[in-house]
Each structure stands twice: as C-alpha cells, then as structure tokens.
Amino acid sequence: MAALDAAGEFETIRTLLAPLAHPDYARDLLDDVAVLPSRAGFDLVLTKDAIVEGVHFLPDDPLDQVAQKLLRVNLSDLAAKGAEPFGYLLACHWSPRCGWPEREAFAAGLKADQDAFGVALLGGDTVATPGPASFSVTMLGWVPKGQAVARSGAKAGHAVYVTGTIGDGWLGLQAARGRLSLEPERVAALAEHYRRPVPRVDFGTAIRGLPTAAVDVSDGLVADLAHVAGASGVGIALDLEATPLSAAAHAWLDARTDPQAALETLVTGGDDYEIALSVHPLDEARLKKEADRLHLRLTRIGEVVAGKGVSVRYLGQPVTLGRTGWTHD
C-alpha cells in the first residue's frame, strides 16, 4: 500500500493518536511538548526502546501486535525498577506498508495496552520512511523517592531469582518463522509470547525494597545478569539446569539430543522480558510470598559470588558459552 502524504500524517495524529493522549498533560497533541506536574515524594523514571521491522518484529506481523510489543518492552524496563507506569512519548516511522488500515490497527493495539497497563500517550512524532518501519517509545513512570532498583546493589551471598520462564522469546521467534515442529497449540503460544510478551509490572511494584539489584531479561538471561554483575562489581554463578521452562519449551527440550546445548540456547536467546534479581537471604521468604500472592512463578537460578561476570554451571560442572545473548551492532 502506498505511503500516506503529509496531509495523511496530520490526519494520523488527529484521528488515531489524539484520542490516546493523556487528558490533562498532553495538550491534545496540538503542542510540541507535554507538561507534567511534579509529584512530591516520587522520582520520575524514564526509559526508551525502539523496535525495527526485520530486527525486532517480522515484516508480516500485524501492527496492532507490533504496537503492543513496543509498549510492553518499555514497560518491562519500568517493572525491573519497581516503577508505576504513567505515560509515554511515541515516534512512528511509517514505511510504505503502513497505510491507513495498518495505522488504525497500530492505534488499536496502543489503546488496548493503555487500558491494560494504565498509561497514556503524552506526545511524540510521526514521519514517513522508505523502510523498514520502526517505532520507539520513551516510557515514564513513578517510584517512591530513592526506591528505584539499580543494577549495582548485588553482593556476594545474595540469591539470584528470575520470574516466569526463560527461552520462550527465542522459541517464539522460531515459531513465528515456522521453524518449530511442535503441537499447533504450543507453536501458537510461543509465537504469542514473542509478539506480545507480558511485562511484570505488578510484581515490580509489589516487591519494592526487596531486590538488591534487578534487570529485565531482554537480551538474554546470561547477558542481562552480566550487566548486573558488572554494575555491582561481583560475579554471578548460574545453574543452567535450574532454568524455568514453559510446557512448550519442555516439549522442545525433550526432543533435543544435547539438553545442555539446548538450555544454553534458551538462556542466551533474549526477548523473554522477565525480571532477574538478586535478594538478601533474609528477604527471600517475603519475595516468594509476593510471587505466590500474584500467582507468578519465581525460580532461584543461582547466587552472587565474589569475582567478575557470569559463570555458568550444568549439573555442577562449569560451562563455556559460545555467546551470552543478543547484541546490537
């Protein structure tokens, strides 16, 4: 479908994006700025992620799901900080495939997740590009003053946990590309996880004050734990066999001839959007209680140790990984 002209760009804002704007602070998207009041006793947390067609989503992915993934990968960053989502700035780089129906679908996806996660559009920009399509969000959230969880607080002796399951992001990409031989319902579940991951916002806000360090698992479990280890000046020992897997991932793993190599693939694949965190042993019971209250799977996968970087073990034996996760060139 041909790209829309300049008039179409303004119509996109007026018809599709203005209804998503925050009623108090976005100025109906008629201005170049949003104006936010200060919130006494809170810190403003900001994060920004972009997604590009052919890199972070597939060329034939429906744009409503692309919009939802865009919001959710940014919400995942807030969740790891314990921040309450507030609103976002949006940049859309529409390619020729983004005609009016596709833009309507994109706006519908934004609306669905705005309602689900309690955020609103504050402003941004839209432009046309010969392609590929790309989109970015700057997400804003609030956290009580001084309580944003950093990556730098892990200390030797602390336990390391991760929410949910690991590996469904990488498997979901294979499923979306038609490269998995599993039951159709499992393939569908994995593809859904890849296209619309679930950010752990409720858990992040519920456990404020408990994690000593935290990171969202976007580039791969090992790579993201390495960020924590580097910021904290410690080592992290990871038990590969403790990796929490979904039923679909277990089915895939059962068909592998080398389970260790398969697990290595899953912990370095990325796109999981879970929270990996360290916690003092005295706070483990409280952490588990909050996870149980929210019916969220929480798994101890290792511990913080003296040293540097992430060391991986499988059944007690050291493992040397060929890669640690996704990297951006």
292 is in an annotated binding site: no
Asked whether residue 125 is marked as a ligand-binding residue, the answer is yes
Residue 32 among known ligand-binding residues: yes
115 secondary structure, DSSP code: H
- Determine if residue 216 is labeled as part of a ligand binding site: yes
With vertex at residue 42, the alpha carbon angle to CA 37 and CA 43, rounded to the nearest 5 degrees, is 90
Distance CA 239, CA 236 (A): 10
Q: Binding site annotation covers 49?
A: yes
Q: At 58, is the secondary structure helix, strand, or coil? A: coil
Tokens in use for 173? 């990409």
Distance separating alpha carbons of residues 88 and 113, to the nearest angstrom = 12
Q: Is 41 annotated as contributing to ligand binding?
A: no
**Is 124 marked as a binding-site residue?**
yes
Of 165, 159, 154, the closest CA to residue 309 belongs to 154
The first and second tokens of residue 120, run together, are: 């609103």
Round to whole Å and give the CA distance between 231 and 236: 12
Burial of 291 per CB tally in 10 Å (0-12, 13-18, 19+): buried
Q: Is the dihedral of CA 106, 134, 178, 262 positive or negative?
A: negative
| 326 among annotated binding-site residues | yes
| Phi, psi (degrees; rounded to nearest 5) at 299 | -130, 130
| Binding region | 32, 47, 49, 56, 77, 124-125, 151, 216, 218-219, 271, 326
| Binding region for Mg(2+) | 32, 47, 49, 77, 125, 216, 219
| Binding region for ATP | 124-125, 151, 218
| Binding region for substrate | 56, 271, 326
